[in-house]
Amino acid sequence: MNTVLVVDDEKGIRNILTEILENEGLKVLQAENGAKALEIFSDQPVDLVFCDIKMPGMDGMEVLRQMVKLKPEVPVLMLTGHGTIDTAVECIKAGAYDFITKPLDLNRLLVSLRNALEKKHLEQETRVLKRTVAKSKYREIIGESESIKRIKELIARVAPTDARVLITGSNGTGKELVARAIHALSRRADKPFVEVNCAAIPSELIESELFGHEKGSFTSAIKTRKGKFELAHGGTLFLDEVGDMSPAAQAKVLRALQENKITRVGGDEEIKVDVRVIAATNKDLEAEIRKNNFREDLLHRLAVIPIHVPDLNDRPEDIPLLARHFLQEILEEQHMPPKKFTDEALEELKKIRWNGNVRELRNAVERLVILCDKTITVEDVRTFAKPARPRPGE
């Protein structure tokens, strides 16, 4: 249900508008002056505003300007009993969606209302779609610490080349984000970015996943299927958790990197592929080589450019930036009113040991957004930032 805020110092006008809007299936909030209107507008979700121009104290033009600053996506329809062309032009220039004169024409009012809501919803859908597309391609790496600055500089140098990159770091540090940044800034940016989580695919299926298979090559192979190398042709193949790849798959990947050719499981034809490979792992591959779990020659092929993403605990100065970024992102996703951290709350976040790194911090911020009031305090952080863990035996 859409929510409409009616702002007018005349109670009769507010009540008439409320009755009309409720008959249209809308939820209506009322404000008798500008200050009250801005308080409601700031604290509650509002989809559209009807605002009178002539009001004692703060007039409607000032209310309009403040609302446009706070939430420019919310349409504001201005009402006045003293309509002139100059006033209408002033309203539109200040950001109003429409200008309606009193006495109110019901048909005119409803047409403007429906058009405004439809425009808002279309714009909202467009923003969501753009965010989804942007997330699937590249998200900004947040941080101003020296280690993150070095990573950004390295990405800028490496991205335009076809050099293979091995990204190392603990779980949740943002290795995939680095990989996507390299792809987004490369000459392959308009080509596919194909991700394979080597740890999530059973060892007996990893070869089929990477190289594809021919029909009938095994029991469930009911048709020929392209693998990730072919699907990533011209673009980037991201091998996440490459340290968990089976020895047989490692040998085939090594050959593919050497010759730029693959052979599907059960097939004989060699297929040429043009793929940039970026790999990531949370394992010490040198130690895995000593245990005979990983091929040394494959490591040398993958790690032309090594990039290490540090733990969040090693760059605490980035925590306030990340927390504010996640706060705004989550508020938009959840369609919630504005909230903010106190400076003390941000300092408290820096004291926590984030074993799950950036991923754990984002989860904590989402929990705080949902459970706390519009100002997130140090007490809120102490209460909600870390998830409750069951006691042994519970």
The pLDDT tens digits of the residues spanning 27-85 come to 999 999 999 999 999 988 999 999 999 899 899 999 999 999 888 889 999 998 876 78
Confidence (pLDDT) at 132: 55
HSE toward the beta carbon, residue 349, CA cutoff 13 A: 31
- Model pLDDT, residue 391: 46
* Residues above pLDDT 90, as percent of the chain: 69
Which pLDDT tens digit goes with each residue over 99-146?
Answer: 888 888 889 999 999 999 998 888 877 766 655 554 444 567 899 999
pLDDT, residue 388, reads 57
Looking at the chain, which residues constitute the CATH 3.40.50.300 domain(s)?
146-309
Task: Give the residue-averaged pLDDT of 13-22.
Answer: 93
3-134 belongs to CATH 3.40.640.10: no
What pLDDT shows up at residue 84? 77
According to the model, what pLDDT value does residue 389 have? 53
pLDDT of residue 86: 83
Instruction: State both tokens at 230.
Output: 């072919």
Task: Output the pTM of the full model.
Answer: 0.65
Residue 104: strand, helix, or coil: coil
CATH number assigned to the domain covering 313-384: 1.10.8.60
Check pLDDT > 90 for residue 267: no
The token duo for 259 is: 């010759």
Identify the weakest region by mean pLDDT among 93-102, 119-128, 154-163, 226-235.
Answer: 119-128
Q: How confident is the model at residue 302 (pLDDT cuts 50, 70, 90)?
A: very high
The CATH class of the 146-309 domain is: alpha beta
At residue 280, φ and ψ (nearest 5 deg) are: -145, 150
pLDDT score, position 139: 61
* pLDDT computed for residue 85 by the predictor: 81
* SS3 letters across the chain: CCEEEEECCCHHHHHHHHHHHHHCCCEEEEECCHHHHHHHHHHCCCCEEEEECCCCCCCHHHHHHHHHHHCCCCCEEEEECCCCHHHHHHHHHHCCCEEEECCCCHHHHHHHHHHHHHHHHHHHHHHHHHHHHHHHHCCCCCCCCHHHHHHHHHHHHHCCCCCCEEEECCCCCCHHHHHHHHHHCCCCCCCCEEEEECCCCCHHHHHHHHHCECCCCCCCCCCCECCHHHHCCCCEEEEECHHHCCHHHHHHHHHHHHHCEEECECCCCEEECCCEEEEEECCCHHHHHHCCCCCHHHHHHHCCEEEECCCHHHCHHHHHHHHHHHHHHHHHHHCCCCCEECHHHHHHHHHCCCCCHHHHHHHHHHHHHHHCCCEECHHHHHHHCCCCCCCCCC
Least confident of 70-84, 107-121, 233-247, 365-379: 70-84
Which SS3 state, helix, strand or coil, does residue 250 take?
helix
pLDDT tens, position by position, 169-186: 999 999 999 999 999 899
pLDDT at position 201 is: 86
- What is the average pLDDT score of the chain? 90
At residue 1 the predicted structure's pLDDT band, cuts being 50, 70 and 90, is confident
Domain boundaries for CATH 1.10.8.60 within the chain: 313-384
Phi, psi at 58, each rounded to 5°: -75, 120
The rounded distance, in Å, linking the Cα atoms of 293 and 250 is 10
pLDDT of residue 130: 57
